Amino acid sequence: MGMLDRFRKPAGNPLLEELTRLYALVRKRPHEPSIMDDWWEGRADGETIAVQDRGGGIIVYAGDIVEVTGICLVRIAPGSSGPAGNSPQRLDRIVGAQGAALASRFVLAAHPRGDFDHPQLRLPALRDGIPRLSPSVQEVSVYENDRGLSLLLDQTATRETVVADLDLALAMVRGVEGVRGLSRPSAGSFVAPPVRQSSPMARTKQAEYNRSNRQPTLAIPDPDAAGRAARAVLAAPDATSRQATGQRLLDLLAAETGIPTPELVVPDAQQPHRRSGGRIVYSLQGDYRRRQPSPADPTVARGGRPIGRIRVLHRTPARGAIVRPSAFLHTLLHEFCHHHDAEALGLLRSFHTAGFYARLRHLRGQIDGALDDRAAPGAPATPAAARARRRSPGPRAPNRRRPARRAAGPMEQLVLPFLDRLWSIIRGR
């Protein structure tokens, strides 16, 4: 893109031209390579905004658009009553009576299989903000990072309605904004980083971060049993056996920690991913979802299925190769920690806090220790166990006699000290 192209004015859409002048937007590369339309970007109220032409209407983006769409809502057509009462597209089953205004105007355009929950829509910022958007807004997308929204406006939109909708979208982004910049604690210590309160709407989320950081451990009474189950997972050759052995490991971990067992799904499919500049910039190794509780028995979902569901993909994103056993096990334990947060700590929104990663390391360390203690000859070992063996100062096996190193010549005597010094500088010593 040339320098002059950045300041080229959009053609063919008068409303888009007005918005680029009003917000001083410039042409940039879209966040997603599959987007072919021109992308006009700028800043408003400290947040990123962008607009695009879409068949005479426009798309307005607010906040950070860095991941895939998590929730897509479509406006119910005028005069329509919407989907049937038992349809998974209906929002009243998610937002309840307090979200009646939202449920009467929008439905889910896409939804996962089963009856899953979308707790973001119960946040007051979204639950009360989305119904206030103008009638020209036909679609609302909430991104998986919960830090960005996009609005699709039809041809009835005017400059005044777009400005009002954008202001409301920015307020919703700030309302659901999470704590940023959490660093990983150093090995052997646990220091919860300070939590920044971004707005009054984020106080609930801040309390959940603090509660997550206060619990750095996830102990299991019988690590040896978990190690045996984990070894079976490492040895499983295909998606079917990985699902069976992984489910047995989850059953054991749930029983050890006193929580309900989640359901494991292992699709024999590639990890969903996005590319940018010819390389993969995002891939989904696995995820954790919670189904809606059954009205008859809140401890299970409808049909008696577990409320928690873990999915771990079986193949890599680019080549479709089978995921390494150790990587599969790590993802499985990662998603189990999300399930443990929801069931044992009451954190239905399980954030990636320093406390979360401390619990994951503690759980993984117990299982790795059991694997290392009971390693059978030729059995696959975890990376942590292999590193521990490499650090072990045990006796070395006798090596073959090596040929004597020849004496350094005059030139080598001058150059080698200089190279050693240069290498020490590069390594920072």
Q: Among 175, 206, 240, which residue terminates a domain? A: 175
Cα dihedral 397→398→403→404 (10° resolution) = 100
Q: Cα–Cα–Cα angle for 328, 286, 65, nearest 5°?
A: 140
- Both 116 and 235 in one domain: the answer is no
Classify residue 331: in a domain, yes or no. yes
Classify residue 189: in a domain, yes or no. no
Q: How many CB atoms lie within 10 A of CB 269?
A: 11
Classify residue 24: in a domain, yes or no. yes
pLDDT of residue 294: 80
Q: Among 147, 175, 203, which residue terminates a domain? A: 175
Q: How many CB atoms lie within 10 A of CB 346?
A: 9
Residue type, 181: G
pLDDT of residue 353: 79
pLDDT of residue 231: 95
- 8 Å CB contact between 239 and 267: yes
- Both 119 and 229 in one domain: the answer is no
Whole-number Å distance between alpha carbons of 205 and 182:
14
- Both 9 and 157 in one domain: the answer is yes
Classify residue 85: in a domain, yes or no. yes
Structural domain count, the chain: 2
pLDDT of residue 67: 46
Domain extent for 272: 223-390
Six token digits for residue 226: 């978990």
Classify residue 411: in a domain, yes or no. no
- Both 29 and 139 in one domain: the answer is yes
Closest CA to 300 of 243, 262, 338: 262
Q: Cα–Cα–Cα angle for 302, 291, 244, nearest 5°?
A: 90
Burial 75-113 (b: 16+ CB within 10 A, else e): bbeeeeebeeeeebbbbebbbeeebeebbebbbbeeeee
- Both 143 and 238 in one domain: the answer is no
- Both 232 and 135 in one domain: the answer is no
- Both 379 and 283 in one domain: the answer is yes
Whole-number Å distance between alpha carbons of 387 and 393:
12
Classify residue 207: in a domain, yes or no. no
Classify residue 18: in a domain, yes or no. yes
pLDDT of residue 282: 62
pLDDT of residue 397: 45
- Angle between helix axes 239-257 and 223-235 (nearest 10 degrees) is 170
Phi/psi at 64 (5° precision): -90, 120
Low-confidence ranges of the chain (pLDDT < 70): 1-11, 29-38, 65-70, 110-117, 144-146, 177-205, 274-282, 373-418, 420-429
Residue 79, C-beta contacts closer than 8 angstroms, at least 6 positions apart: none
Six token digits for residue 110: 């896409």
pLDDT of residue 354: 79
- Both 81 and 169 in one domain: the answer is yes
In the three-class reduction of DSSP (H, G, I as helix; E, B as strand; rest coil), residue 377 is classed as: coil
- What is the chain's Cα-based Rg? 27
Classify residue 403: in a domain, yes or no. no
Whole-number Å distance between alpha carbons of 33 and 279:
11
Residue 269, C-beta contacts closer than 8 angstroms, at least 6 positions apart: 313, 314, 315
Six token digits for residue 254: 């749930």
- Both 167 and 234 in one domain: the answer is no
- Both 61 and 168 in one domain: the answer is yes
Size of the chain, expressed as the number of residues it contains: 429
- Both 126 and 241 in one domain: the answer is no
- Both 275 and 386 in one domain: the answer is yes
